[in-house]
Chains A and B, each alone.
Chain A
Amino acid sequence: MSKTTRNNRIAVIDGLRTPFCKAGTDLAHLEADQLGALCVKELMQRSKVEENQIDEVIIGNVSQPVKAANVARVIALKAGLSSQIPAYTVHRNCASGLQSITNACSSILANQAQTVIAGGTESMSNIPFVYSKELKFVLESFMTAKTTAQKLGALRLFKFKYLKPIIGLQEGLTDPVCGLIMGLTAENLAREFKIDRHEQDLYALESHKRVTEAIEHNRYADEIMAISDKHGKKMITADNGVRLNQTIESLEKLKPFFDRKNGTVTVGNSSQVTDGAAAMILMSESRAKELKLTPMGYIRHYSYAGLEPDRMGLGPVYAMSKCFETSDISFSDIDLFEINEAFAAQVLACHKAADSTEFAKTYLNKSKKVGTLDPKKCNVNGGAIAQGHPVGTSGTRIVLTLLHELKRQNKTLGCASLCVGGGQGGAIIIERH
Chain B
Amino acid sequence: MPVYVWEVGKVEPSLSSDIKTMKKEQKTIVKKAVKTPTFDEVFNQTLKAAQVNYTESNSVGILSLDQLNSKVNILSRSILNEFNFVLDLLSKRDICVLIIKSAKKNQFIAGANIHEIYGVESADEAKELLVHGHEIFHKIENLPFPTIAVINGPCLGGGLELALACTYRVALIHDSVSIALPEVNLGILPGLGGTQRLSRLIGLSKAVSLIVSGKGVNAKKAYSLGIVDALFHDAFLETRLETFIASLSSSKQRKMIEKRRKKSSMPMKVLESNGVGRWMLHQLVKRQILKKTKGHYPAPMTALAVTIKGYSKPLKKGIDLEIAGFCKLVTTTEAKHLMHIFLTQEFVKKQTQSYVVPTQDTIKQATVLGAGLMGAAIAWLFSYRNIKVRLKDINWGAVLHGQKSIQNIYNQLVKKRRLKKDQADMKLMQTVSLTQDFSGLHQSDIVVEAIVENLTIKQTVFKDLEKHVSRECILASNTSSLSIEKIASSLTYPDRFLGLHFFSPANIMPLVEIIPSKTCKKDVISKAIQVVKKMKKTPIVVKECPGFLVNRILIPYVVEAIRCVEEGEKISRIDRIITQFGMPIGPLALCDQVGLDVGFNVAKVLEDGYGPRMAIPTIMKKMQELDNCLGKKTNRGLYCYKGKQKSENQDINQFCSSPSKKTEKEIKDRLLLIMVNEALMCLDENIVSSPEELDMAMIYGIGFPPFLGGLLMYAQNRGFNDILEVLTQLAQQHGSRFEPCNKLKELVKHNQNLFHSIKEEKHG
Contact = CB atoms under 8 A, between A and B. Distances in A.
Partners in one complex: yes
Given A235-B396, A235-B400, A34 B440 contact: no
B115 interface: no
Contacts of A79: 429-430
A37 B429 contact: yes
A46 B433 CA distance: 11
A34 to B, nearest CB: 7
B400 A42 contact: no
Interface in A56-115: 77-80
Contacts of B400: 228, 232-235
A42 B426 CA distance: 15
Contact of B434 (A78, A228, A234): A228
Given A42-B440, A78-B426, A232 B404 contact: yes
Contacts of B434: 226, 228
Interface in B404-463: 404, 407, 426, 429-431, 433-436, 439-440, 442-443
Contact of A232 (B388, B403, B426): B403
Contacts of A368: none
Nearest to B433: A45
A41 B431 CA distance: 9
| Interface of A, helix, strand, loop or mixed by DSSP | mixed
A48 interface: yes
B390 interface: yes
A294 to B, nearest CB: 14
A50 interface: yes
Given A78-B430, A226-B434, A46 B439 contact: yes
Interface string A25-53: 00000000010011001100110101000
Contacts of B429: 34, 37-38, 41, 78-80
B404 to A, nearest CB: 5
Name, among A37, A46, A48, the residue most crowded by chain B CB atoms within 10 Å (CB to CB): A46
Contact of B430 (A45, A46, A80, A234): A80
A226 B396 contact: yes
A407 B653 CA distance: 69
A78 B428 CA distance: 9
A83 to B, nearest CB: 11
A79 to B, nearest CB: 7
B442 A48 contact: yes
Contacts of B442: 48
A234 to B, nearest CB: 8
A226 B439 CA distance: 12
B379 to A, nearest CB: 14
A50 B404 contact: no
A29 to B, nearest CB: 12
B390 A80 contact: no
By size class, the interface of chain A is: 20 to 34
Contacts of A48: 442
Contacts of B388: 80
A46 B426 contact: no
Interface residues of B, number: 21
Q: Chain B CB within 10 Å — which of A34, A45, A237 has the most?
A: A45
A133 B366 CA distance: 51
A38 B435 CA distance: 13
Contacts of B435: 45
A226 B399 CA distance: 11
Contacts of B431: 80
A36 to B, nearest CB: 11
Interface in A202-226: 226
Interface string A229-271: 0001111010000000000000000000000000000000000
A226 B434 CA distance: 9
A50 B444 CA distance: 11
Given A48-B442, A78-B426, A42 B433 contact: yes
Contact of B390 (A45, A50, A232, A235): A45
A38 B396 CA distance: 16
B83 to A, nearest CB: 44
Contacts of A50: 443
B433 A232 contact: no
A79 B400 CA distance: 19
Nearest to B444: A45
Contacts of A228: 400, 403, 434
Contacts of A46: 439-440
B320 to A, nearest CB: 57
A53 to B, nearest CB: 12
Interface string B119-138: 00000000000000000000
Interface string B236-252: 00000000000000000
Contacts of A38: 429
B742 to A, nearest CB: 53
Contacts of A34: 429
A237 B431 CA distance: 21
Contacts of A232: 400, 403-404, 407
B468 to A, nearest CB: 11
B390 to A, nearest CB: 6
A334 to B, nearest CB: 32
A232 B433 CA distance: 13
Nearest to A48: B442
Contacts of B390: 45
Given A78-B430, A232-B407, A45 B440 contact: yes
Nearest to B365: A45
Interface in B162-179: none
Contact of A45 (B396, B407, B426, B443): B443
A398 to B, nearest CB: 24
A34 B425 CA distance: 11
Most buried by A among B388, B400, B439: B400
Contacts of B426: 78
Contacts of B399: 235
B396 to A, nearest CB: 4
Q: By CB atoms of chain A within 10 A, which of B388, B431, B440 has the most? A: B440
A37 B399 CA distance: 19
A121 B4 CA distance: 75
Contacts of B407: 232
B245 to A, nearest CB: 39
Nearest to B399: A235
A237 B390 CA distance: 18
Contacts of A42: 433, 440
Nearest to B397: A235
Given A46-B439, A46-B440, A78-B426, A41 B433 contact: yes
Nearest to A78: B429
A78 B388 CA distance: 12
A68 B239 CA distance: 37
Nearest to B390: A45
A50 B443 CA distance: 8
Nearest to A79: B430
A42 B390 CA distance: 10
Interface-central residue, B399, B404, B443, by most chain A CB under 10 Å: B443
A232 B429 CA distance: 14
Contacts of A80: 388, 429-431
A228 B435 CA distance: 11
A233 B399 CA distance: 10
Contacts of B433: 41-42, 45
16 contacts: A41-B429, A41-B433, A42-B433, A45-B390, A45-B439, A46-B439, A46-B440, A50-B443, A77-B430, A80-B430, A232-B403, A233-B400, A234-B400, A235-B396, A235-B399, A235-B400
Given A79-B430, A232-B404, 11 more contacts: A34-B429, A45-B433, A48-B442, A80-B429, A80-B430, A226-B396, A226-B434, A226-B436, A228-B400, A228-B403, A237-B396
Interface of A: 34, 37-38, 41-42, 45-46, 48, 50, 77-80, 226, 228, 232-235, 237
Interface of B: 388, 390, 396-397, 399-400, 403-404, 407, 426, 429-431, 433-436, 439-440, 442-443
**Top 9 closest A-B pairs, CB basis?**
A45-B440, A235-B396, A80-B430, A46-B440, A78-B429, A232-B404, A45-B433, A232-B400, A46-B439
